[in-house]
């Protein structure tokens, strides 16, 4: 049976430290194994202007300049994932922002030690996800295709 509920899209970025440590495949596979659908994926080097827009809410905080320098220091992998309650599910898979508070089994709980190098960014709300998706992706970079296993993931 087809699932008729509306699905959310969310934004995820494998940060420079995650890419440098060779964890991109592991991170992507965790979202796939959970049953989320990959809608867009690209490796980019973030320009300073985009980084400042993306992290605008942190401007003026003591860590802001270091954060901008870090996120622009090496390539990242930007992605869009879709599923029912995707924002919340992705945040659970990613784990708490502070790795010392992240549950074992989460990405940060398994791979990160410090907040400055916490491997991955995930949108914290549906509103933030929409904003970040629009910052990083053009409409023609987002792919709509049938996920043939949906009937085995979702109940009506």
Are the C-beta atoms of residues 111 and 119 closer than 8 Å to each other? yes
The residue annotated as part of the active site, out of 3, 54, 58, 121, is 121
Question: Could you please report the per-residue DSSP string of 101-116?
Answer: GSPBTBHHHHH--BTT
Catalytic site includes residue 58: no
Cβ contacts of 100 within 8 Å, gap of 6 or more: 113
d(CA 73, CA 66): 10
Cα dihedral 141→129→33→108 (10° resolution):
120
d(CA 69, CA 33): 33
Active site members: 121
């Amino acid at each position: 049976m087809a699932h008729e509920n509306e699905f959310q899209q969310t934004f995820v970025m494998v940060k420079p430290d995650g890419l440098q440590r060779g964890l991109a495949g592991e991170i992507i596979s965790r979202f796939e194994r959970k049953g989320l659908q990959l809608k867009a994926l690209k490796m980019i080097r973030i320009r300073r202007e985009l980084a400042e827009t993306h992290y605008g809410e942190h401007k003026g905080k003591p860590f802001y300049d270091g954060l901008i320098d870090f996120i622009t220091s090496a390539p990242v992998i930007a992605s869009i994932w879709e599923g029912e309650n995707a924002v919340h599910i992705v945040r659970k898979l990613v784990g708490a922002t502070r790795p010392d508070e992240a549950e074992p089994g989460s990405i940060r709980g398994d791979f990160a030690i410090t907040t400055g190098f916490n491997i991955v960014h995930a949108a914290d709300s549906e509103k933030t996800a929409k904003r970040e998706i629009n910052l990083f992706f053009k409409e023609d970079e987002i792919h709509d295709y049938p996920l043939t296993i949906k009937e085995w993931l979702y109940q009506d």
